[in-house]
């Protein structure tokens, strides 16, 4: 599940609650096309990697939070462990995101996960069928 974060206090509480788990925070915007395309994949990853905590911050709804975390473009992904930022990248590259998650959680915790390619394929099918129905 992806937790929606509205302000700095919520994010700090979320990071503390994670303890030693990896936290992935996506900074995005409702108007951003790449953000819209990657969101289903982020949701799929949140179900796949149950030992990782996922959050989303809308930069328009949480301008101060985005500014305090130095967000310059969307989507931006920041990863944290024990409340400290350990990695950041910009762009809607789901494969890069998944590879980094796998690297940071380590091989011992990957035994019960399914490759994102299947989730990606399923999401693409769902999005294309939904799009064709809305024409």
Supply the residues annotated as catalytic: 32, 35
How far is 120 from 101, CA to CA, in rounded Å? 16
Pair 81, 20: CB distance under 8 Å: yes
Kindly state the DSSP code that residue 79 receives in the 8-state scheme: E
CA–CA separation, 97 and 99 (whole Å): 5
Phi-psi region of 83 (alpha: psi -120 to 50; beta: other; left: phi over 0): left
CA distances from 22 to 8, 64, 79 (A): 18, 24, 7
């Amino acid at each position: 599940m992806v937790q929606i974060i509205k302000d700095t206090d919520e994010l700090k509480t979320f990071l503390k609650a994670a303890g030693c788990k990896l936290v992935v925070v996506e900074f995005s915007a409702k108007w951003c096309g790449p953000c819209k395309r990657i969101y289903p994949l982020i949701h799929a990853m949140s179900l796949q990697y149950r030992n990782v905590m996922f959050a989303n911050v809308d930069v328009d709804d949480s301008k101060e939070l985005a500014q305090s975390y130095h967000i310059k473009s969307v989507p931006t992904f920041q990863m944290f462990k024990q409340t400290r930022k350990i990695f950041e990248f910009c762009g809607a590259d789901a494969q890069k995101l998944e590879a980094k998650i796998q690297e940071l959680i380590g091989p011992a915790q990957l035994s019960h996960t399914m490759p994102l390619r299947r989730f990606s394929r399923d999401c693409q099918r769902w999005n294309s069928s939904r799009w064709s129905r809305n024409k």
